[in-house]
Chain A
Amino acid sequence: MPQILVEGLAKSYRVAERAPGLGGAVRGLFRRRWREVKALVDLSFSLEAGELLAFIGPNGAGKSTTVKILSGILRPTSGRVEVGGLVPYEDRLRHVARIGVVFGQRSQLWWDLPVLDGFDLLADIYRVPPDRYRARRDELVAMLRLEPLLAQPVRQLSLGQRMRAEFAAALLHDPEVLFLDEPTIGLDAPAKLAVREFVKRLNRERGVTVLLTTHDMHDVEALAERVIVIGQGRLLADSSLDALRAGVFAERRLWVDFTEEAPALDIPGVQVRARTGRSLELAFDPAKIPAAQLIASIAAAHAVEDIHVDEPAIEEVIARFYDLHDSSEA
């Protein structure tokens, strides 16, 4: 039995349309025109305990609607959802006691209270027995290096410090599943690394199931073995990151720095993507021309200073993925 089961999930809202101006507001009191917005059309997937899944898609794709349904805030229009055997929106109080949620942009701590006081209050809210709470708290404080922050009011923490405290707060009751909604948004580079490292440890060492939504593709690359891409309320892909990349892009990239002005290259199967002064960015299909052969032929004909091969950045993969998808739909 999977930990999270989603079958045929659909969610639509009715949005009142109002004519502009005072007249429109008054007419709106008597007769409203409704427009139906389909946030989710048909979404199915399942997640085994201990998996780490990244949920990606553009704004409005239905990511946050899905997370809200999974966490019990929203009730779907149709479809079936079970998390750990419970239907979240039917059994909200029992369900939320078993999950942890971190929103990148919203705090669950008390702005004017010291971090530690907030933890104490959460332990009471989640009914964590005192000795279990102390053990759990000390462990999280050590893992997240929170010791020096405990006595500080939350409002005095930097965003990176606060996110560390948020993670501890979400985990004090030892949840089986952790939902992360844009957890690295706005963080500086070291703080992002710390968050990713922590999530990885949590998932590997403690077996916590993690469902992550993000716009930061580095999060996805660093964390997720499995990626779900949604768009317009539907599942577009459910695979590993590598498979996703391979499916979209057969090509690879070669960056070459020359000692002089970059030459005009004309090699069959190789395309020049960008030229800046002494540098070239090339795209090639390794099935047609292997990397070693390409490098050798360039180095033979020109004076080369530096050279490296890479895959397209994941942002590009995703953008390309949506392009392909849109054109196939059209």
Chain B
Amino acid sequence: MNALRLYFRYVGASIRAQAQYPAATLLLTMGHIGATAIEILGVFALFHRFGEIKGWTFGEVALFYALINITFSLADLLTRGFDVFGTDFVRTGAFDRVLLRPRSATLQLIGHEIRLSRLGRLLQGLAVLAVATRLAPIEWDAAAVAIAVWAVTGGVALFAGILVLQATLAFWTVESLEVVNVLTYGGVQAAQYPLDIYAGWFRRVLTFGIPLACVAYYPVLAILKRPDPLGAPDWLLPLTPLAGFAFLALSFVAWRAGMARYASTGS
């Protein structure tokens, strides 16, 4: 049985497990919709008060917001096992069980738990995408759709890379890894607005450090067919999501080093 089929079997098992607690799952999903919806409410309140932000309208910012939230929700669905790796696997010793099975640890971890409640953020992102499409001058031609899908894929790779790095840190310490939330939740927060509203040092962090701008800001410019106010050449814009895959690849190099360490220390 190939890896993809096994992954879907994990998904099925996870859904059946959550279906045992329908009320709790529903509540959590609602809570998740609430927690993410307040963010767009905040954005909306600011636009209601100010009208625009450095020449960007609410509809355009809604497109940034929608795509990064869709991206993050998909990454979050896929990488739960890495997210809770320190607390649920290393600290409890459950990682030994993973190693005792004749499948790659990565496959078992991404299949660990697929939380339906996280669909809340996805639904919310899709709803905001619909709003953005109404309000902003977006022409959803084949090229724009392709760039959006490509940007989301690269973004999922980037967030997955961040969570793999977080899990890798758990081979060394399981204390306070939630600081990585700065990059995940904080990254979503930052990428909800166009890059050019930020200070220079922050723009460089988001482009060259954790390349969130490469999976959000630059491809969205290409979708909106707007030139970069910061001067990146037009041809480069659709290529930038590649940075997400590069980040993920580097994260797995670190992950392998962590796995080797685990085999020699067992903790």
Contact = CB atoms under 8 A, between A and B. Distances in A.
Q: Do chains A and B touch in the complex (CB under 8 A)?
A: yes
A93 interface: yes
A97 B13 contact: no
Interface string B256-267: 000000011111
A112 B25 CA distance: 13
A184 interface: no
Contact of A125 (B101, B263, B267): B101
A89 B94 CA distance: 18
Interface size class of A (residues with CB under 8 A): 20 to 34
Interface string A45-88: 00000000000000000000100100111110000000000000
A134 B153 CA distance: 39
Interface in A185-236: none
A308 interface: no
A153 interface: yes
A73 B94 contact: no
A113 B17 contact: yes
A271 interface: no
Nearest to B10: A121
Most central of A73, A96, A110, A117 by chain B CB within 10 Å: A73
A139 interface: no
A111 B17 CA distance: 8
Contacts of B21: 112
6 contacts: A13-B265, A13-B267, A71-B100, A72-B99, A96-B101, A125-B102
Nearest to A95: B102
Most central of A93, A101, A110, A125 by chain B CB within 10 Å: A125
Nearest to B107: A125
Contact of A121 (B9, B263, B266): B9
B23 to A, nearest CB: 14
B13 to A, nearest CB: 5
Contacts of B96: 68, 73, 106
A127 interface: yes
A114 to B, nearest CB: 8
Nearest to B98: A73
A112 B104 CA distance: 23
A239 interface: no
Interface string B58-100: 0000000000000000000000000000000000011011011
Interface in A91-132: 92-94, 96-97, 99, 101, 103, 106, 108, 110-113, 117, 120-121, 124-127
Nearest to B260: A75
Interface in A238-266: none
Contacts of A127: 1, 102
B102 A96 contact: yes
A121 B13 contact: yes
A74 B266 contact: yes
Interface in A120-160: 120-121, 124-127, 153
